[in-house]
């Protein structure tokens, strides 16, 4: 029997589409799933390549060529451990397991160490792009055992998205770096989605635009520097009609946002690393606050706000585009700054030039802006912060006045702008040479003898404040 080059465990939408993508690119692949329906679906969708799957795990493992290459696309958490536990007795030393789910990076670290002790190669690989990306070209972030990566590099490069001929996949680094980078990618995604939600709020409730007008604004912006997958998706939301009411679907969707936790993970680890990402954090908080619907309705009636009119809507619309662009730059800047800190702390050896390069296509946060970001890190690989790039600085200087006016206007109107406001405050904090935190150190030393440093001499000091 001819052996398969790669096997997929988990034939849901993502796993099945990724297998079909591999088959389209000429690779001999198969899959395993406990569900007969999933196996049937694989066979139906893969008729052109005569794709077949296995219902028996042992038969599946034996069908793979050595060393075995096995990709897991199952829900993160205990299920991953359970599948690995079932697999281990059937594997040989030198075989490779790739976890492509949204696993927490600490779980990936643990699994890689445990499997290395048993002679099994392992790495975590973040995949972005949704089901369409998996089918026609995702962005992939593999990290861990470099030798193991080389065994699947030709497959991954073939099936990934391409930008200017470059595959949107690269070896990220050792350990759990792949899943860490995907986690931060998701944090940036949270932030970008919230920025667009706040933009919608201003367009609808401050400018009084209807859904058709909002669609037109987003369509116009998507033809310029804001062109991105998320803006394109957001634009298209405003043209979908509701079959039940005949009106627009967006108008009957309840304003309580759900999440799967990856944004929260990004915020948590930023606190651990003491690397601020306030705009990403605010996007996580916004989803959490949305869940208090009853309270929000009650307070909207008890604490009303009289809105002021916007005199020049066309001028404000131009400034709003600038504010969106500024907030998007800042979201990427915070995520990449967190990656640079994590690289030092966890010894991930991250290459921000390559990471921004593979994010240009296939993934959810792909945008034309990433080309500028990629060029910034290509020009200076040790760039301390995206704001430090001369090209980015020029853009910031041009759009800051408009951004300030948008935030001021939103505050006057009583419209919550957590991401816009935090992005602007973050910018102002970073460009402040002398912050007021000398007072914080004085306070800490006054009541807790926590000491302080001086500006005029070296050393650690404590004052007798009384």
Tens of pLDDT along 402-441? 999 999 999 988 999 999 999 999 999 999 999 999 999 9
pLDDT digit string, tens, across residues 34-87:
999 999 999 999 999 989 999 999 999 999 999 999 999 998 889 999 999 999
- Tell me 5's DSSP state: S
Who contacts 336 (Cβ-Cβ below 8 Å, separation ≥6)? Answer: 352, 355, 356, 373, 386
Mean pLDDT of 122-148: 92
Q: H/E element holding 41?
A: helix 36-45
pLDDT of the residue at 307: 76
**How far apart (Å, rounded) are the C-alpha atoms in residues 65 and 67?**
6
- Give the C-alpha separation, 255 to 31, whole Å: 39
DSSP state of 307: P
What are the pLDDT digits (tens) for 158-170? Answer: 999 999 999 999 9
Name, in order, each residue with C-beta under 8 angstroms of 347's C-beta and a sequence gap of 6 or more: 174, 175
* pLDDT over 60 at 1, yes or no: no
CA distances from 38 to 33, 66, 129 (A): 7, 26, 21
Domains recognised in the chain with CATH numbers: 6-175 (3.40.50.720), 182-430 (1.10.1040.10)
- The residue-averaged pLDDT of 196-213 equals 95
Please state, rounded to an integer, the average pLDDT across all residues of the chain. Answer: 94
Contact 4, 28 (CB under 8 A): yes
Alpha-carbon distance 386 to 403, whole Å? 18
Indicate which residues carry an active-site annotation: 182, 189
């Amino acid at each position: 029997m001819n052996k398969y080059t790669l096997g997929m465990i988990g034939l849901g939408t993502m796993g099945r589409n990724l297998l079909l993508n591999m088959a389209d690119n000429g690779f001999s692949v198969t899959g395993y799933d406990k569900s007969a329906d999933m196996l049937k679906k694989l066979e139906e969708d893969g008729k052109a390549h005569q794709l077949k799957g296995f219902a028996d795990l042992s038969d599946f493992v034996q069908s793979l060529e050595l060393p075995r290459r096995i990709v897991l696309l199952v829900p993160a958490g205990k299920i991953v451990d359970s599948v690995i536990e079932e697999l281990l007795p059937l594997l040989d030393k030198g075989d490779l397991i790739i976890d492509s789910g949204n696993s927490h990076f600490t779980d990936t670290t643990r699994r890689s160490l445990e499997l290395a002790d048993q002679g099994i190669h392992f790495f975590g690989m973040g995949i972005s792009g949704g089901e369409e990306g998996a089918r026609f070209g995702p962005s992939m972030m593999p990290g861990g055992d470099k030798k193991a990566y080389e065994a699947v590099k030709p497959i991954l490069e073939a099936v990934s998205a391409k930008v200017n001929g470059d595959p949107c996949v690269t070896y990220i680094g050792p350990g759990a770096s792949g899943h860490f980078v995907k986690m931060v990618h998701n944090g940036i995604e949270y932030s970008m989605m919230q920025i667009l939600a706040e933009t919608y709020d201003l367009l609808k409730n401050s400018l009084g635009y209807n859904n058709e007008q909002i669609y037109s604004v987003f369509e116009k912006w998507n033809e310029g520097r804001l062109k991105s997958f998320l803006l394109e998706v957001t634009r298209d939301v405003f043209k979908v009609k509701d079959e039940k009411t005949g009106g627009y679907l967006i108008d009957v969707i309840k304003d309580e946002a759900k999440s799967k936790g990856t944004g929260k993970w990004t915020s948590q680890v930023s606190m651990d690393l003491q690397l601020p990402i306030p705009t990403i954090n605010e996007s996580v908080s916004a989803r959490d606050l949305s869940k208090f619907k009853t309270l929000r309705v009650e307070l909207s009636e008890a604490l009303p706000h009289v809105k002021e009119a916007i005199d020049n809507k066309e001028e404000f619309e131009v400034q709003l585009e600038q504010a969106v662009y500024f907030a998007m730059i800042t979201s990427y800047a915070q995520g990449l700054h967190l990656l640079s800190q994590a690289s030092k702390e966890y010894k991930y050896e991250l290459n921000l030039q390559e990471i921004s390069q593979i994010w240009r296509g296939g993934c959810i946060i792909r945008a034309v802006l990433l080309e500028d970001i990629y060029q910034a890190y290509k020009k200076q690989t040790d760039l301390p912060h995206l704001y430090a790039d001369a090209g980015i600085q020029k853009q910031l200087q041009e759009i800051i006045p408009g951004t300030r006016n948008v935030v001021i206007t939103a505050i006057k109107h009583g419209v919550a702008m957590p991401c816009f406001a935090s992005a602007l405050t973050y910018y102002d904090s970073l460009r402040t040479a002398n912050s007021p935190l000398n007072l914080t150190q004085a306070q800490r030393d006054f009541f807790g003898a926590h000491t302080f440093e001086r500006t005029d001499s070296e050393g650690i000091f404590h004052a007798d404040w009384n």
